[in-house]
Amino acid sequence: MKKIDLILSAILLLSACYVKAQGNSNVLKLKSAKDLHAFFKFTGNDRLLIAGHRGGMVTGFPENSIATFENTLKYTPAFFEIDPRLTKDSVMVLMHDATLDRTTTGKGKLSDYTYAELKNFRLKDADGNVTDFPIPTLSEVIEWARGKTILNLDHKDVPLKMTAALIRKHRAEAFVMKTVHSPDEALYYLTENKASMFSAFIRSKKEFDEYEKAGVPFTQLIAYIGPLVKPGNQELYGLLNKKGAMCMISAASSYDKLKSAGERKAAYRSIAKDGASIIESDYPIELAEAVQEFIKKDSPKQRFFGKK
């Protein structure tokens, strides 16, 4: 066989492998902010949704990294809560902590470094193993996510105005939402873009009343109601679901800390039985496996789910 034929054969083989790998990726198909609102609107015939807290935590895959998001999507449809922070030269990058030590090969405050300087560091996984993955910018992650998933931006040290401007620059209203800790934050974003979608902290009847009084549209938010299954959840499910809002319980600070996979599985299933529409976890792959029987495959919202 001629050398050129060998090269062409190798290219075709690599292409076939790439297509096969791509075919294993789950995607969320959203084309507009209207689709985003419909995806998250509570209807009573909804598919249980999986949220990857910081993308997920698997050995070899660091939190807040594109590699981790891609790995999660190979196993389950999911959207991702991520953490934008500002560098010394005002570049938005993903980093949960204000310091570099835990999750990177760097030391000290992230805000003391320019983005060019951060390029010298590599991310660590949850076990402290150094990977080959760099610290991504929010812009890179937004462009990666287009046509694949939804991003939920937590509020760290980035001013609301800068966050709104970046979403507008990327025309990403169809798949980027913002975490808000108060009705005032939601109202600010709504003045910037009336189609804004939120993940709102509504953990009590008092907080529900505050959002209702402020006039924040419940059909444009999901409600984080806390980290635990407890009797008080039932009142919130009733109030929020009636308004068209899905309710989310996050296991990241609670049940994800259980030592065995069996204990975690039982806890995840208890959240689904409790009535949550969305479960967030550091272990979205494990979570998805645990709650398979609760994920409706005949929901009208199935149109938003696909493979790529």
Where is pLDDT greater, at 86 or 297? 86
Res 23: pLDDT: 56
Please tell me the least confidently modeled range out of 9-18, 121-130, 264-273: 9-18
CA-closest candidate to residue 123, choices 50, 69, 51: 69
The string of pLDDT tens digits covering residues 11-60 is: 333 333 333 344 589 999 999 999 999 999 999 999 999 999 999 999 99
Q: State the pLDDT confidence band at 8, using cuts at 50, 70 and 90.
A: very low
- Would the pLDDT of 127 be above 90? yes
Confidence of residue 297 (pLDDT cuts 50, 70, 90): confident
Domain boundaries, the chain: 28-307
Q: Say which residues have a Cβ less than 8 Å from residue 173's Cβ, sequence separation at least 6.
A: 32, 33, 36, 167, 193, 195, 196, 197
Predicted local distance difference test score (pLDDT) of residue 4: 44
Can you tell me the distance from the alpha carbon of 94 to that of 167, in angstroms, rounded to the nearest whole number? 15
CATH superfamily placement of domain 28-307 = Phosphatidylinositol (PI) phosphodiesterase (3.20.20.190)
Q: What is the pLDDT of residues 50-108, one digit of tens each?
A: 999 999 999 999 999 999 999 999 999 999 999 999 999 999 999 999 999 999 999 99
pLDDT at 19: 37
* Angle, in degrees to the nearest 10, between helices 138-145 and 66-75: 20
Q: Work out the average pLDDT over 201-226.
A: 98
